[in-house]
Each structure stands twice: as C-alpha cells, then as structure tokens.
Structure 1
Amino acid sequence: MLKVLIIEDEAGIRNSIANAFSWEEMGCELFGAAGSGLQALELCLNTPPDLVISDIVMPGIDGLTFLKYIREKYPFTQFIILTGHRNFDYAKDALNLGAAFFMLKPINFIELENSIRKLIEKIMQERENKKIETQQEHILRSLLNGRIYHNTSLLPQVKNLLNQIAYYRVCVLKFDDEIENDPFRLQNLMVFCENLTARENLLMVKTDNAHLVFILLLSQKDASFEDMKGYLIQLLHRIFEFFHVSVSAGVSEIRHGYDTLHEAYIQGLRALGQKFFTGSGCVHMFHKTGSLPAVTDYNQLLGFCQDILTWLGSGNPDSLSRFTDRLFSELLASFGSDASLLKSSFLILFTLCIQRTIGEDARQMSILLERYSNFQKVIHCENIEILKELMLNLIMDLADYHIVKSGTKQMIVQKITDFIDQNYQENISLNDAARVVYLSPSYLSTLITNETGKNFTEILNEVRVKNAIELLKDPSRKISEIAYAVGFHEPQYFSIIFKKLTDLTPRDYRKMYLN
C-alpha cells in the first residue's frame, strides 16, 4: 500500500480531502493528516510518505519548505501542491523543487483524483522498473563474477535482456582517486555515469565502490574498437571535467553470449592492470600474450639479489641511481608482463636481500619491515614509478646498514650528525636516530657520548641554536617564529637553551648584532 500524507492548516479542507476518496481501493493508506509543516515533519521522521498533498501557505514551516526538505531526504516522494493564490511564482517554485502537480483552490476533486491516480501509476511503474533493474544488476554481477543462476526465477524482462547479449565487449572502469571514502560524491558520480551512458546498447553494473563495468552490446562481431575507445576517452574526460577524478579503463576482446561474461570481465581487469605501467587516466585494450610463468623464476631472483650484495660491497654509493636503473630494467624485462607478477617478484627479491644482508639480526629486520609497512607499500603500489622508487629506497637502506656495520664508530657518529643537520627542524629523538643506523637507542647514546663528549640532545640543541643565530639576524622575524622554525615547540624553552649555549638571550643577541 502506498502511504499518503495530507498537509493543510484549514481543518475543513483537510478533512474534505481525507474523506473524499476510497484510499484502499486506489491501493493507498492515509497514514497522516497534518495541520502544519512541523507536524508533518514529525510524522515523516521514521516513515517516508509515497505521496504528499500539501498546501503552500501555512504558519511556521510552509509547503515549499517542507517540499524541499522531503525531496532531499526522500527523492522518490511525489507531491501535489495546493494553493489559493493565483501567483505563477508559487507554481514555478513548486515545480522547480520537484512537485508533480500544482492545483488552485477551491479544489476540483475530480481533477485531484485524476492527479492522484496518475502519480500512483507512476510510483508503481518506478517500483517495477527498480525491481527489474535490481535483479538485472544482480544477475549481471553474478555472471561477471562467475556465479551460476537459476533461469526459472528471472523476471521476463531480465530473461529478454540476457537473450539480447550476443556480441559484446566488457569495459572495466577504475576510479584512480579514493572517491569511495566520500559516499555522497561517489553517489553523484554513479548517477552522472548512468546519465552519460543511457544508451540502449550499453549496460552498467557497479561491482564495488572503486569499479564500474560497462557491457557494450555490438551489432556485429567485427565492430571497431576505435569507436568504443573514442567514446570511453570522451567519458573519462567528462568525469574528470566535472568531478576532478581520474578514471582508467580496461576493455575485453569481443565475446559472444552471456555465459562468457566472466571471461570477458577477467580480460577487462587484466587490461586495466596495464595502467600500472602506463599511468592513470587511459583506455587499455586486452591483448593475448604468451602464457605467464606459473611461478616466479627463483634462481633469476637469486642472481638479482647477488648483484645487489656485490654492489653493496663495492663501496661506491655514488653509482646508486645508475645501478638501480639497470637492475630495475632487468627485473622489468624478466617479470614485467603482468603487474601482479612484477610485484610478487619484487617482494621475493626484497625478502632475499634483507635476509642476506641482515641475517639473524631480528631487531634490524623488524625496523626495515616497519619502514616498508610489512610490504603493504609494494602490494598497494599503483604504478611502476612508485615501485622503482621503493626499490631505490630499499637499496639505499641496505647500503646504509652495510656502511654502519662495516664502518668505524666515527662513521656512525658522522651519519647521526648528518641526520640532525637534515632534520633539526622536526621533532626528532634519539629513537629516530637509532633507526637510521640500525642500533639500539641505549647503545647509540653511549657511543655518541664516548666519541663526542656530548649526548644526542646536546648536539641537537647546538645545531638548532646555530641555525637560530642566522635567523635572528633578520629583524623582521619574531623570536617565537624562529623558535618553531628550528625545532623548538616552546619559545620559553628555546630562550633557556639559547642563553645556556651563548650566555645571551635571543633578544639580547639580536640587539648586539644589530648594534
């Protein structure tokens, strides 16, 4: 039964409308007759009405305000607006807000009944269409994912649709930006795509919050890919233009019959995987290649690992970039036919290198794994340039570890000094420094004190004060601003440390310099 709500501040008119029709015979129930907009809102808190018959001019919340609120919250609710004012602006506002009919008082009840019946028919048709669309999308999603369904339970319209699927391509769209974390924006984007793709030969299926699937029905088995590619490029451009969201697309070969939808979907996903190598915002066509190796060539990765260990022992860190470029090119040539294969090969190489370099040093192993978020950065890597950067960073970390373990205590102290010089503006600690040289904080603290006669904090404060002295020479900068700029979070503490090291307050030092 459809739920009908009447809103009219004049009790006589309200009761006349409520008693004028056989609501049950029309397939409706009168679930409320409110004397004000506020009372109507209270009725709608938990139960959305299907049809509202409302006056415009009422005390407090008027009909137009109520219409606007309900249409935002329940967009499928239908409205008939009543008014005693022959003002075209009222009609214009009501229709702009989504009212289906606008009627003048005194009420013509025959006209009102006709309007109600038309809206009932419209609502029922929309529900039937929604039911068909829901089953259609569910069946198509099941077929795409390789699940079998029972033909006997299908609606006739859905059966007819499946019978129309002869030759087709499957296109998988991937939102490159994390729009799935913004449900409102995602919903608007889905509606936008539905409107843009409202073509008889195109079916749209939402598989998850990051992917859309289009099934393009073809009139012939040799239809040109270029036509579809041009359409998709235009679609991606429109989405970026309106939503500033980058979208990539992967397109299958031409397939035949709905029973091959799963294979076509896999091809679309495989084609989409090429964005790892080419970047985002492109249309990729599936191409058959030679069969991929079932497992990564472990011996080849051992060879790459040995190359890294040999380079680490060469003592030539200046060639890091060139070495990484060469190694990555070789890795790409061997395992770059598929993004997943390349990532898994990289992870094995990653593990081998850490194991061979660090050995049984469990603590240093955990530091490295923590730095790379237990491989999550590799697994979720979106493109080849990021993977190359991860390889560069890994080799740099292994080189640092190798230098520290094979070097002198003076080399370790120098590395800590360099770390402080580069990061004194940040909130760094002894623990941060210990991670850089793969030593425990307590051992590093003792080593620094024995080698320099100062502790870590004293060295850090000296560097901060030294840089603060340069900044104090600029009279336009506030002392509190300088304190924050060199890493002190309390200006008062900055002044104490500054005076301890220079025998002058920052203000006195500035006066002396300027004079």
Structure 2
Amino acid sequence: MKKVMIVEDEELILQGIRNILDWESLDLEVVHMAHDGAEALEMWEREPVHIVVTDISMPVMDGLELLHKIREKEEQVRFIILTGYDEFAYAREAIRLEVENYILKPINEEELERQLRETVEKLDEMDKKKIQYIDEKTQWMHFLSGRTGAEEYRQFAKLLDLFADHGNYYAALMKWNMNGLKEKKITDVIVELKQEKYLKIVHLPPDSLLMVLTDQTVDEMQAQEYFSELQNSVESRFNVMTFICMGPGFQSIAQLPESYQTARKLQKYLILEGYGTCISQRQIQDRTAESLSMDEEQFRRFILKKETEAALGYMEDLFLNQIRGDASAGSLYQMAIKMAMLLQDIKKEYKLKSSNFQELTDLIETIFRAEDIHGIKTAFISEITEIIACIHEEDSQYTPVVRQIIAEVQQNYKEDMNLKTLAYKYHMNASYLGQIFQKEVGCSFARYLSNTKNEIAKDLILNTNMKINDIARQVGYPDTSYFYRKFKQCYGVSPASLREMKKY
C-alpha cells in the first residue's frame, strides 16, 4: 500500500479530499494532511510518501516550492497539483517538474481517482524497472568476478557487442564523486556516453561505470588518452568530478573480468591522485611500496606535551608534503594505520575516555573509506585534538608540582633523576612529595619513570632496527641486563622476545 500526503490551506477542502475517495480500494493510505508547504515538508521528512496531492496557492510555502524541495530529496515521488487558477504559467512550471497532472478546482472525483490509479501504475512500473536494474547489476557483478561459466560468455558478449575472439579492447572504470550528485545527472552522463561510437558501458551503482573501448585501431597509450579526453568532456559538460582507472588490454570477452579486476584495484589510488585524473596499470607499476617515514617518538612527544599546533602541523607535513609522487597507495595506508595505532596506545596508556573518541576499528575504516588525503587528515585532526583536550583535563586533576614532575619526566626521561633531587628542586620534603605523587598518579615516581622509559623502548623495538643495547642506552639504561629486567616486569616479555614476535 502506497502512502499519500494531501496539502491544502482550506480546512474544508482538505477534509473533502480526504473523504471523497475510498483510498484503501486504490491501495493507498493517507498518512499526512498539511495546511501549507512548510508543514508538508516537515511531515515528509519525518515519514516520506509516494504521492503528494497539493494545492499551488498556499501561505508560507506554495505547492511548486514544496515540489522543488521534495524533488531535491527524492526523484521518484509523484505529484498531483490542485488549483483554482487556470493559468498557463502554473501548468507550464508543473509540467516541467514532471507533475502527474494539473487539476482545476472544484475537484472532479472521477478525474482525481483516475489520476491516482494512473500514478500508482506508474510507480509500480518504476519499481519493476528498479528491480530489473538491480538484477542486471547482480548478473554483471557475478560475471566480472570471474565466476561465470564459459557457456554464459556469449550472453555478455552480445550485450557488449564483443564477438571478435581476437579483438583489441580496453576496459576502464569511471568513479564519480557522489557529493551533491543527483541520480538524474548520472542518467544524463550515461545517455551522453552511449552516443560514443566505440564505447560500450555498464552502470555499476552507486558510483561507477564500466567502459569498454572497442576501437581496434588504438594502442594502450592512445586508449588512455581517449579515456582522459572523455573524462574532460564529462566533467566540463556536466560539472561532475570523476576518477578513471584503466585496466590492461584484452582480446576476448573471457578476459574482461581480469581487466576489470585490475582497474578496480587501481581505484585505491584515488586517495593519492584525486578526482580529475585518469591512470593505468602501466603508470603505477614502478611505484615503491616502501614505508613512508614517521618519527613516532617526536609525534608522541608533541601530543603528550599538549602542543596541539605542533602535533597537527607535523601530521599535515607528513600527509601533504612528504607524500612523494612515486609513493604507492599501500605505503600511505600503512603510515596512516601506524598513526592510528599510536593514538590508540596513548589513549590506553593514559586511560583517556571520551564519547568523541573513535574506536580503532572505526578510525581504520574511516581511513580506507576516505576518498583523498584530506579525508584521512580530517579524521586524525578530530582524534588528536580530543586526545590533547583529555590530557589537559586529566592534568587539571593534578596539583601544579605533580604536573611539573610529569612534564619533566616526559622531556628528560634519559637523565638520572629521582624523587630526592626533584624534591630539592621544588623545595619540598621528599617523603611528602612521594606521597602526593603516589596518591594523584596512582603509582610511585620510580614506577612512573620506569614505565615511561619502557614505553619508548617498546616503540623503538617494534618500529626500528636499532640494537637492543643501543635502545637501552637511548632511554637511559646504561646497564642492559637491568633494562631487560625492568622491561620484562612491565610487559611480561623480554625486549628480544618482543622483537622476535615482530619478525625483525
């Protein structure tokens, strides 16, 4: 049963329309009755309907403006316009907006019923086409996955007109930026591309188009140039941002799935190249997979010292300035995940809690779903800012002298420091200072200092090839055996065992 909304500013007419028909017999249900366009729009946003029967002339928001606003949100909703003004301007605007009909008051019951029946039939036909469209897409995805049997190849060869067993074909995937993009504009692009002489296309909703170039006279470089020019034409004519990935050439329909899969893998390079580019496997095959360099210790220090500007600046430089033109997408993702894990470690170590924090899995998902480097950067900005804010909040619970001691440990952990020397520095009794520190931080000063050193040592073990002896000295343990003992007390495994687990 399809839903209907009636919009009319005169209460008697509104109730009359509601009661004039047996809506249930038409397989319809009136779920909203509004007195102006603004009220109707608010109701529609709460519960959308399939059909809107509306007057044109109403206070606050008229029927045509209501039509415009709902059309922006849903193309399939149908409208029947009611009005007492027999003016061509209204009818012309209504027709342009694909209104089902334009009915004059006083309303003819039979005419309204006929229009509603025709509208229901049209909606049913649209639903059938949508289901057929989904079925066709499912079949194509099954074929392009490479699971189709040889006997089914002829069906898809016929759909694409690829009958030559030894042709010279090139496949490419066009992905468009869906932000603010209406379905009608996508349809316009598809209709336009179907006019291309040597181009066969398959729409893979929601945001991709498979294109097969059948011109037998072009080579790989000429094919990429063709797709690039096609991209420029589409973007300039329809104001749509696109990204095109071209797979290797193929000779028969049976090889199309392999070319498609290669092109699909190249879509991850959108994050590096951005919209408006057209790339091929040949272009990226020599890109390095080496990890991008990130100084985790320095980045961590910026955060723990609550230097928001320095931390965000470092991240900005890392993602926007140090990404080389020959870097692989894999190396970018590896660096981003390493940063996400570092932030997670900080939250766990300092027991930071906030409803604004992202779970590690959610942050990683955001990284992989981002369409460009700016998307990744934005996710990290909010997380880093919230961590520093929470550290500020945690610090505010400490007395000034404890905050000073914690800051000094973070900055000078390599030095030989103890509570006695610090008490002398801050003109306090050592025993009293120890009691304050234990009460506020939850552990002794010696344990806090040891944990700080071991945490930094752990990062060096996992993320560098430094020798264990050098790491011990780096964090302030001149005696390696003592370092081993303290590290194992902290983590339950020795430094060498931890490195072995990471297969260095």
TM-score (norm 2): 0.48
Please give the TM-score of this superposition, normalised by the length of structure 1: 0.47
Q: Which has the larger radius of gyration?
A: 1
